[in-house]
Structure 1
Amino acid sequence: MKQLDVKLMHPRVQITKVISRIYKNGMTTTSGGNISIKDENGDIWVTPSAVDKGTLTEKDIICVKKDGTIIGDHKPSSEYPFHKAIYDVRPDITAVIHAHPPALVSFSIVRDIPNTNIIPQAKDICGEIGYAPYGMPGSEELGVKIAAQFEGTETMAIIMENHGTVLGGTDMMDAYTRFETLEFCARTIINAKTIGEPVMLTDEQIKEFQDQIPYDIERNDTGSYPPEEREIRQNICDIVRRACDQGLMISSYGTVSVRWKDNDFLITPPDVARWDITPEDIVQIKGGKAEPGKTPSRSVSLHQKIYEMNPHINSIILTQPPYLMAYGTTGVKFDVRTIPESWIFLQDVPCLEFGTHFTGNDTIPKLLSESVPSVLVANDSFIVTGDKLLQTFDRLEVAEFSAKSLVMGAPLGKLFPINDEQVEALRKKFLG
């Protein structure tokens, strides 16, 4: 991915950047987890042992030379042996991430593997997932057991019994995207099981999703970039980063667009980690064609249709918040009548069948209105709209907070939403 260009960025920088992201997102602890990169010389760069992950700096990263010489101010991670064991059996792997993210640890404790067919893109990102029997942390035995799951396969992800997970990648961003996506699947499944039983996509449905993505996008010969257009680019980047920081997007998924003028708009691209997106990455759509040399989000056709059919909509966010997706994967009704503000912001949120978001289907653009600003698409996404981008983001936050409250409340007992009479009173006072 562009923003973590392994050809230009030193392994120390990559490792520091990614371990910081993992820690800030609550996917490892101060002392837990370790990541490494094997460079072109065969040297392995790895996080140190017993150094705070929350304050790790580039100078803390250790280099274990190909001949075994250790360069750095600390000892290499105690789990270094299994990192080396993976590299020894899989020359195609040049980055390894090991951590104890809560949802994947839950799966490791019950000795199960998350089903990545919960959302359409995860199976392709994660691939086949292995399961390594328990071994003493830091031991050669553990390295042997983990390496055995990687050796002779194309597996890039392993659940470690009563331990956590370890993932490989062709580069650090490839490994991180896989790590984050697998933890997202695990969280979504756990949240879904709190309120019902998750329904998985079939392989045929996933193929149908991939086949309908418009890869061949027409492009304009030139583009114009007046100040107001450039301001929209920056606003999109700011909102995307906020969404990532709040767990409303992951690096590999989430689309934001804003109407520029008439039916022209600006939209995020695919294949750029969302938390590092820049104004230069944003793609201008003018006259139905993309900005020269750039590729817009795979959902660009849906955004185009929504703007054309809904003059009141000026911004769209499409993403996969983990609590909303619990409702989007179980068929359980997402009832926003939790508190007055939730219903005022969202009113009732329909959940549509998987496939209604595909190119050529007008169901969503026709359904969206001032009284239906958002929809859930089963096993795919939450789509929310608004006049201003901040209003759209606010609705996204309110929706996810509401879903989280409902999921957390489910084990406590019967839920009592606001009744019809109370809703009607809200409608008259706040919506006219």
Structure 2
Amino acid sequence: MALSEEGRLREAICDFGRSLFDRGLTAGSSGNISVALDDGGWLMTPTNASLGRLDPARISKLGADGRLVSGDAPTKEIPLHRAVYDVRGGARAIVHLHSHYSVAASLLEGIDAASMLPPLTPYFVMKVGRLPLVPYFRPGDPSVADVIRDLARHHAAVMLANHGPVVSGESLDAAVNAIEELEATSRLFVDLHGKPHRALSEAQIEELRQTFGAVW
């Protein structure tokens, strides 16, 4: 029997979560994933759940009012997910990880809070775009929502200082691809920190805008 659309999304959350976990992009019970439903609600990974061992039947389902409908209690990071969905009408999925190099990049002194990673590769420019740094808030702090809401109006991804990236996409596949690209670029940035390097020029970025619709 074919899975319903919701059933398919539950399976996809588990499959992507396992892939991210198995490749070391998040550890323990860190990180969370959400997907928007057509009725205005969301599917979200549960609190204290490892992305590597998710059960489709236990994925948290929230109504449009943000209240739990079924499944286990949801991640405590609901405020940051909801803040992004509130202002990015095209966002259908959000991935938040504690990925090693992304967090490391957020700890470096002297980075530009308005755009913390330079345009090192064309795929970072195309899939992620400018990446603003959000000041440190404790995990689950509801006051982070206002800061993220302001930034997410103009950016598909933000970096939480000392914490990790939050990336939205028009599908779960797109959000996962973008956060993987962000982690790869963060690794390049950390490896190159303090060394002479060559980022893309404005003319090269403009070509990506014209050819692929990149937002930078």
Residue 24 (structure 2) aligned to one of 12, 23, 26: 26
Change (3 A) 1:68 1:189: closer
How many angstroms does 1:110 deviate by? Answer: 2.1
Change (3 A) 1:182 1:62: same
Change (3 A) 1:72 1:119: same
CA distance in 2, matches of 1:20, 1:59: 15
CA distance in 2, matches of 1:148, 1:59: 34
How many angstroms does 1:56 deviate by? Answer: 1.2
Amino acid at match of 2:100: P
**1:62-81 matches, cutoff 5 A:** 62-81=60-79
* Residue pair 2:20, 2:51 contacting (<8 A) in 1 also: no
**1:33-48 matches, cutoff 5 A:** 33-48=31-46
* Residue pair 1:189, 1:198 contacting (<8 A) in 2 also: no
Task: Give the number of the structure whose alpha-carbon radius of gyration is greater.
Answer: 1
**1:9-408 matches, cutoff 5 A:** 10-110=8-108, 112=111, 113-115=116-118, 117-151=119-153, 153=154, 155-193=155-193, 196-207=195-206
Greater RCO between the two (CA within 8 Å, min separation 6)?
Answer: 2
Change (3 A) 1:88 1:120: closer
Amino acid at match of 1:158: V
How many angstroms does 1:8 deviate by? Answer: 8.8
CA distance in 1, matches of 2:196, 2:102: 18
Root-mean-square deviation over aligned CA pairs: 2.4
Amino acid at match of 2:104: S
How many angstroms does 1:98 deviate by? Answer: 0.7
CA distance in 2, matches of 1:161, 1:69: 28
Change (3 A) 1:84 1:8: closer
CA distance in 2, matches of 1:66, 1:27: 30
How many angstroms does 1:139 deviate by? Answer: 1.6
* Residue pair 2:44, 2:60 contacting (<8 A) in 1 also: yes
SS of match in other structure, 1:205 = helix
* Residue pair 1:109, 1:163 contacting (<8 A) in 2 also: no
Query: TM-score w.r.t. structure 1 length?
Result: 0.44
Query: TM-score w.r.t. structure 2 length?
Result: 0.84
Amino acid at match of 1:143: A
Amino acid at match of 2:11: V
Change (3 A) 1:202 1:30: same
Write the deviation string for residues 25-53 of structure 1: whole angstroms up to 9, x where unpaired: 21111211101011111111000001232
CA distance in 2, matches of 1:40, 1:206: 35
* Residue pair 2:107, 2:161 contacting (<8 A) in 1 also: yes
Gaps of 5+ in 1: 1-6, 214-432
Gaps of 5+ in 2: none
Count of residues in correspondence between the two structures: 203
SS of match in other structure, 2:168 = strand
Amino acid at match of 1:198: H
How many angstroms does 1:180 deviate by? Answer: 0.7
CA distance in 1, matches of 2:125, 2:25: 21
CA distance in 2, matches of 1:122, 1:35: 21
Write the deviation string for residues 328-377 of structure 1: whole angstroms up to 9, x where unpaired: xxxxxxxxxxxxxxxxxxxxxxxxxxxxxxxxxxxxxxxxxxxxxxxxxx
CA distance in 1, matches of 2:208, 2:167: 26
Write the deviation string for residues 156-205 of structure 1: whole angstroms up to 9, x where unpaired: 010111211111111111111111111111111222348x4321121323
CA distance in 2, matches of 1:76, 1:170: 22
Amino acid at match of 2:42: I
